[in-house]
Structures are given as structure tokens and as C-alpha cells.
Amino acid sequence: MKPLLQLEGVGIHFGALKAVDDATLSVASGERVAILGPNGAGKTTLFNAITGLLPANRGIVRFDGADITRASPEARAARGIARTFQITNLFFGLSVEENLLLATRGLSPAKFSIWRTDRAAGNERNIVDAALSKCHLESRRDVLVREISYGEQRQLELAMSLTSSPKLLLLDEPAAGLSPAERVVMANVIRSLPRELSLVLIEHDIDLALGLVDRVICMYQGTVLVEGKPDEIRRDPRVQEIYLGKPRHA
């Protein structure tokens, strides 16, 4: 598999704090990778370096053959990088479909004009329908976001990130705060995403994360501590000591 995303020696520093320090890693086309690590390990900051929300102070970020280290978040999104956030980010007074339309139109000159038509039309309809189906939300299309469950709201955020047809999807704790039943649904949604879509998943629920990915990167204090297949990570004594021994959501 050819590398889609490559980070070489990436650092993000806040004053004296090296939130991400000398991170070197790659994600292949179609690969699914989990990032584990305790609170403050630098996982979300690493995502920010990839999406451009916080450009790297050091190092190089390459995506799909291009050096994007200094590219704007918009330029990176246009190249095919999408993300979801650790915190829910939706319009609660609008329906599920309207939220998806906003996400879809965010890419076009008609940006944020949900008033243009009541319903999705043409290509927009196809994009919205595909995203609803991939995230198991077809039956919730016309329901206001404030009336769907929290688990469905997280599914909707995932659906919104798919409307740009990304090549790489970064998921920041998609199952945080979900009930055990909602976690199962979210895991199934993630598992059934198209195989050609590369995924990087930050998740504190180890069993959920390891069941979804091909490879795991464990971060600690801003650095990549260990990388390996899910089974190797489960057995690694360093991982057990710094992370598996102290599960956050236990």
C-alpha cells in the first residue's frame, strides 16, 4: 500500500510544552490506524497538525504526494482530509438532513444558505443520501438534531465529515460519552465505512479501537512511544504500564 499521509519529525510547541514532539508516522491508502495514549499525550494536537488547525512548528507533513506543512485547513480539506471533533459540533435547531446539507454546501459558493431550497436536490441529494446510509441514519432524516440521541448526534457528525468525499478521515474520540449500546452502533458504522477510505481514530476505549484497526500508534508525552498490530500493542509492557493499566473511562 502506498503512503497517503506522512509525518516526519513533526513538532507542535506551546511555549516550553512540546505537545507533539518529533512525531514520525505514516498512514497508507485504505489503512485504518488507532492512536492511543493517556490524557494530554498530544493526540488531538497531532490531528490539528494534520488538518492545519495548528500548523507544525517543526517537521514536514505530506499528503497524497504533496508537502502540505504550510497549507491552510481549507486547502487540506480540498485535498481530501476530513475530521470530526472531540466535542459535538452541530446545529441543534435544524434537522439531520439540514445539517448534512450545510456540510455539503460548505464546499460550494452557496455556502451556508440552507434557505435556497427546503430539500436536497440532484447531486446534493445523492451526497446526503449516501452519508445518511453509511452512518445508519436514514430513518432520522427529518428529525431535529436536538431530538435524536447523543449517539445519533455523533453518527451525524461522522456523516457530515463524509460529505466532502475525503481520502483520509480523522475521528477524535467518536465513542466518547456513548452508552455501551451506542458504542456498538458507532463501531458498526465505522467498520462499514468504505475500505478505500483511510481512517485514523483516537479512542480511549481500547477494545473498541483495537477491534476496528489494522495498526496502532501509542503516544505518550507528545512522542510516538510504540507502533504495532493490535495484538502486539495489547501485549506491549510499555503500553500496559502507561495506558492499559489506567483506562480513562473505566
**Strand extents, DSSP E, the chain:** 3-14, 17-28, 32-36, 58-63, 66-67, 81-84, 168-172, 198-202, 215-220, 223-228
Q: Under a CB-based contact definition with an 8 Å cutoff, are residues 202 and 47 in contact? A: yes
11 binds, options Mg ion, ligand ATP, none, Cβ within 5 to 8 A by partner type: none
Smaller CB distance to ligand ATP: residue 49 or 101? 49
Selected range binding Mg ion among 38-46, 57-65, 111-119, 215-223, rule: CB under 5 A: 38-46
SS3 for 89? coil
Site string for ligand ATP, 183-202 (x = CB under 6 A): --------------------
Answer yes or no whether residue 151 interacts with ligand ATP by CB under 6 A: no
Of the residues 1, 9, 14, 247, which one makes contact with ligand ATP according to CB under 6 A: 14
Of the residues 6, 44, 69, 198, which one makes contact with Mg ion according to CB under 5 A: 44
Answer yes or no whether residue 174 interacts with ligand ATP by CB under 6 A: no
Site size for ligand ATP (CB under 6 A): 12
Beta bridge partners of 36: 218
39 binds, options ligand ATP, Mg ion, none, Cβ within 5 to 8 A by partner type: ligand ATP
Least distance CB 86 / ligand ATP (angstroms): 6
Answer yes or no whether residue 175 interacts with ligand ATP by CB under 6 A: no
Smaller CB distance to Mg ion: residue 43 or 167? 43
Least distance CB 86 / Mg ion (angstroms): 5
Smaller CB distance to Mg ion: residue 45 or 95? 45
Q: What is the CA radius of gyration of the chain?
A: 18
Instruction: Map 131-177 to HEC letters.
Output: HHHHCCCHHHCCCEHHHCCHHHHHHHHHHHHHCCCCCEEEEECCCCC
Site string for ligand ATP, 16-45 (x = CB under 6 A): -x-x-----------------x-xxxxxxx
Q: Is 42 exposed, middle or buried (0-12, 13-18, 19+ CB in 10 A)?
A: buried
SS3 for 88? coil
Closest CA to 64 of 85, 50, 80: 80
Binding site for Mg ion (CB under 5 A): 43-44
